[in-house]
Amino acid sequence: MDKEKERQLKKGSAEIRLETLKMLKWRGYGHLGGAMSIVELLSVLYNDILRYKPEVPAWEDRDYVVLSKGHSGPSLYAALALHGFFDKELLYTLNEGGTSLPSHPDRLRTPGVDATTGSLGQGTSVAAGIGMALRKEGRSGQKVYLIVGDGELNEGQCWEAFQFLAHHKLHEVIVIIDYNKRQLDGKLTDIITPFDFHKKMESFGFRVFDADGREESSIDEALKAAGQVTDSAVCVLLDTVKAQGVPYYIEREDSHAPKFDAKAKEELDKTIQALEQYVAEGGR
């Protein structure tokens, strides 16, 4: 990837991270860890991969995004606001009564949200259904980007949906695993060990592409390679860090959904200021 493109994508990530952290800090709590580990992915998707028209969210030729790990809604909302689906001011209604930005995405409430998610596992079946519908309608050029959590993969439903994708060689769905090694209350290896996701997905019949989920160029390359596959189901395994980009929370046990005390707010402010400066300098 050329340097200018990389700069744009990195600036895009910084903007999504910044808006998400500002929103969560304003709210006083929220799912920070998992929202942060998909920031670089969202920047690559919305800046370089997806076909969409923000002024016509339901455009029938669009690509679809299914955020199956729905608790990461806040970073999806930041990406949608930054890419023109709605006003950034709306971010400051997150989780309020009557808001169009509930903590977990709702496709009937938020422009740009393609699937209602939050009950882990269910998004995998929804994505499989959308993918099959695209195929049946002869819209094989369109893709469904399905974002699943590594802890979410404890849900049996995911593996049922993956068998369906593999059996039908449903390359219209690109399964993206956010392998951040942690779930709600600890490390995957202490709760239910995942063994080797790459081998596991391969044995389920998928072509698997590995990427560094903190590097936009690596994600971009993997998504583009995955998009070329037409003879099997396809998966991108993202090596990420829970709470990536937020130094204070990376090592903390409560990074999943913290409530911010005075110390946390101070630390968040440092990250917010650094991101503001980076964005103001154009990502240089």
Ligand X SMILES: Cc1ncc(C[n+]2csc(CCOP(=O)(O)OP(=O)(O)O)c2C)c(N)n1
Q: Which residues in this chain contact Mg ion in the complex, by CB under 5 A?
A: 149-151, 180, 183
Number of residues that bind ligand X (CB under 6 A): 20
Residue 114, contacted partner among Mg ion, ligand X, none, CB below 5-8 A by kind:
none
DSSP for 48-73, written as a single string:
II----TTSTT-TT--EEEESSGGGH
Q: CA nearest 6: which of 48, 34, 46?
A: 48
Site for ligand X in 187-226 (CB under 6 A): none
For Mg ion, which is the closer residue by CB, 57 or 149? 149
Q: How many CB atoms sit inside 10 A of residue 243's CB?
A: 24
Q: Which does residue 184 touch among Mg ion, ligand X, none (CB within 5 to 8 A, set by kind)?
A: ligand X
> CB-based burial of residue 256 (10 Å sphere; 0-12 exposed, 13-18 middle, 19+ buried)?
buried
At its nearest, how many Å lie between ligand X and the CB of residue 86?
Answer: 24
Using CB under 6 A, which of 50, 132, 184, 274 touches ligand X?
184
DSSP-derived secondary structure letter, 145: E
Count of helices and strands (H, E) across the chain: 11, 5
According to CB under 6 A, which one of 10, 25, 143, 182 is a site residue for ligand X? 182
Is position 151 an interface residue for ligand X (rule: CB under 6 A)? Answer: yes
Check binding of 34 to ligand X (CB under 6 A): yes
105 binds ligand X (CB under 6 A): no
Q: What are residue 246's phi and psi, to 5 degrees?
A: -125, 90
Question: Residue with the closest Cβ to ligand X?
Answer: 149
Whole-number Cα distances in Å, 153 to 49, 68, 87, 217, 240? 25, 10, 34, 26, 15
Residues of this chain that interact with ligand X (CB under 6 A) are 33-34, 37, 69, 71, 118-121, 149-152, 178, 180, 182-184, 242, 256
